[in-house]
Amino acid sequence: MPGSTETAVLRSGRAAVLEQLRALERAVVVTHERPDGDALGSLLGMHELLLALGHDSVMFVAESDLPLPSEYRFLPLQGVITQPPADVASRTVIFVDCGNIERNPAAERLRPSEGWGTIINVDHHHDNSRFGSVNYVDPSASCTAEMVWELAHALEVPIDTELAVALYVGLITDTGCFMYENTSPRAHLMAAELIEAGVDVHAIYQQVYEDIPFAKLALLARGLANVQRYDEDRLTVAYLSAEDFAAAGAQESYAEGVIDHLRAVRGTAVAALARDRLDGGSAAPDGGRQRKVSLRAADTRLDVSAIARLQGGGGHRAAAGFSTSLSWEDLVTFLRNALAAQLRDLPAET
Ligand SMILES: [Mn+2]
């Protein structure tokens, strides 16, 4: 729970964002790289909210993030632009679900320089770097879509079916279909309202979770074949190499969900999945591979975002990630040490 100072900051940020959302005329809505369900749901939701207010709005997703994961292609995102708009300097740039400005691939071209407009930052990551000129960061929100939903209420924007579907996708993906720790009564109240607004629960579930390309199953099989466990099974790790992706015929986004299997294994306190970046990323100094590492805490006393920050990443206590050029062996050593340090610092059990 946020302390009173944090709550005061949150309220002032919310008021400032509401004021900006009412007053702005032209906006570009953006989110984080490799967008997931909450990123895309809140991107589309914010865009539709702006259109409902009568504003000019465009959505930007970098070329490098296309194609979008196939499970989200049913969302009406055909209109996204893949380069920042030429008139970006005269638009309010609205970041949703983006904990750090560097998590957008076009950060350099979205950052205000002299004479530029406003950056609005709406997010629920507790380690958000508050990079906006106005920041509304609410770590108690289950997803950024929940914050967009709440802003729509405050702005008296009616929730039509299209807006409801966008927000619902953010809600189910970030709460693991209402099963993660962040699932609050408010998340369920939001779901109830979105269903009343016309969301077809089962149809969306099928689109997002049950229309799996076979290559994704093949990639999961390879990931599960690569599982290793350390430290009395408290650390469960697996990797997906570029060769695994090639052999499965899989895109990078097909790795989504593999880590859930690692987290669910009895005994696991922390799960990690390291996957080679298929775009190569920036070349590693030793000529080695660039890897993207996803972390999950199965033990709720642990904070994997703190582990991710040690490597320049971030996220939530229960779900975080970072990029690295560490070798696999060094990466495992790092994770084992980081986990051991957190376990050591836990209060003694009574
Ligand atoms: Mn999110």
> Which regions of the chain are under pLDDT 70?
1-4, 6, 112-117, 280-288, 349-350
Residue 246 and residue 277 in one domain: yes
Q: Tell me the CA–centroid distance for residue 264 and ligand 1, in Å.
A: 21
Q: How far is CA 197 from the centre of its chain?
A: 25
pLDDT given for residue 107 in this prediction: 86
Q: Tell me the CA–centroid distance for residue 99 and ligand 1, in Å.
A: 9
Residue 235 and residue 289 in one domain: yes
Give percent above pLDDT 90 in the chain: 83
Q: Is 128 exposed, middle or buried (0-12, 13-18, 19+ CB in 10 A)?
A: buried
pLDDT digits (tens, 9 = 90+) for 58-84: 999 999 999 899 899 999 998 999 999
Residue 255 and residue 132 in one domain: no
Q: Which residue range is the domain that position 233 belongs to?
A: 214-345
Residue 88 and residue 193 in one domain: yes
Q: Tell me the CA–centroid distance for residue 328 and ligand 1, in Å.
A: 28
The answer as to whether 9 is a domain residue is: no
Domain boundary among 180, 209, 238: 209
Q: Tell me the CA–centroid distance for residue 137 and ligand 1, in Å.
A: 11
Residue 271 and residue 315 in one domain: yes
Q: Tell me the CA–centroid distance for residue 349 and ligand 1, in Å.
A: 32
CATH of the domain at 33: 3.90.1640.10
pLDDT given for residue 278 in this prediction: 85
Domain boundary among 184, 209, 234: 209
Q: Tell me the CA–centroid distance for residue 39 and ligand 1, in Å.
A: 6
Q: Tell me the CA–centroid distance for residue 173 and ligand 1, in Å.
A: 8
Q: Tell me the CA–centroid distance for residue 337 and ligand 1, in Å.
A: 28
pTM for this model (two decimals): 0.87
Whose CA is closest to 40, among 178, 207, 184?
A: 207
Q: Tell me the CA–centroid distance for residue 286 and ligand 1, in Å.
A: 33
pLDDT given for residue 112 in this prediction: 63
Q: Tell me the CA–centroid distance for residue 282 and ligand 1, in Å.
A: 26
Q: Tell me the CA–centroid distance for residue 272 and ligand 1, in Å.
A: 19
Residue 291 and residue 199 in one domain: no
Residue 45 and residue 190 in one domain: yes
pLDDT digits (tens, 9 = 90+) for 42-64: 999 999 999 999 999 999 999 99
The answer as to whether 5 is a domain residue is: no
pLDDT digits (tens, 9 = 90+) for 29-45: 999 999 999 999 999 99
Helix, strand and coil percent figures for the chain, each rounded to 5: 45, 15, 40
Q: Tell me the CA–centroid distance for residue 279 and ligand 1, in Å.
A: 24
Residue 150 and residue 299 in one domain: no
Q: Tell me the CA–centroid distance for residue 140 and ligand 1, in Å.
A: 11
Cα dist from 327 to 169, 178, 290, 324, whole Å: 36, 36, 9, 9
CATH of the domain at 319: 3.10.310.30
Q: Tell me the CA–centroid distance for residue 78 and ligand 1, in Å.
A: 22
pLDDT given for residue 243 in this prediction: 96
The answer as to whether 317 is a domain residue is: yes
Residue 170 and residue 254 in one domain: no
Domain boundary among 209, 233, 264: 209
Residue 200 and residue 230 in one domain: no
Residue 71 and residue 99 in one domain: yes
DSSP letters of 157-198? ----HHHHHHHHHHHHHHTTTTTSTT--HHHHHHHHHHHHTT
